[in-house]
């Protein structure tokens, strides 16, 4: 099973790569597989270092809130 956390584009580079922010972690990934252009602020899903598709901001934010909730619950369980 593969989970893809929504990531937000923060930089666009000349070599068909972009920098994304995934829950505060920034990394550079390839956008070679995208057929539509990306813009700073777009939300995307990434698989093995490649942007697979762009997603709606509302959907991205809903997913991110769920991931944050899961992380908080896991951290609470570890402390118990």
Asked whether the predicted pLDDT for residue 1 surpasses 60, the reply is: no
Q: What is the pLDDT of residue 80?
A: 77
Q: What is the pLDDT of residue 2?
A: 65
Cβ–Cβ under 8 Å, residues 17 and 29: yes
pTM value?
Answer: 0.85
For residue 58, give Cα distances in angstroms to 4, 28, 42, 51, 53.
16, 23, 11, 18, 15
Q: Which residue, chain included where needed, has tokens 């896991």?
A: 74
**How confident is the model over 23-80, as pLDDT tens digits?**
999 999 999 999 999 999 999 999 999 999 999 999 999 999 998 999 999 999 888 7
Mean pLDDT for 17-21 is: 98
Mean pLDDT for 5-22 is: 96
Domain definitions of the chain by residue range: 7-79
The whole-angstrom separation of Cα 39 and Cα 73 is: 33
Topology of the domain comprising 7-79 = SH3 type barrels. (2.30.30)
């Amino acid at each position: 099973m593969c989970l893809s956390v929504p990531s937000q584009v923060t930089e666009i580079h000349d070599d068909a790569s972009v920098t994304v922010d995934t829950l505060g972690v920034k990394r550079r990934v390839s956008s070679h597989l995208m057929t539509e252009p990306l813009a700073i602020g777009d939300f995307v899903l990434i698989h093995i270092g490649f942007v697979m598709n762009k997603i709606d901001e509302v959907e991205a934010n809903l997913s991110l809130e769920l991931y944050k909730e899961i992380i908080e619950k896991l951290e609470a369980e570890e402390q118990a």
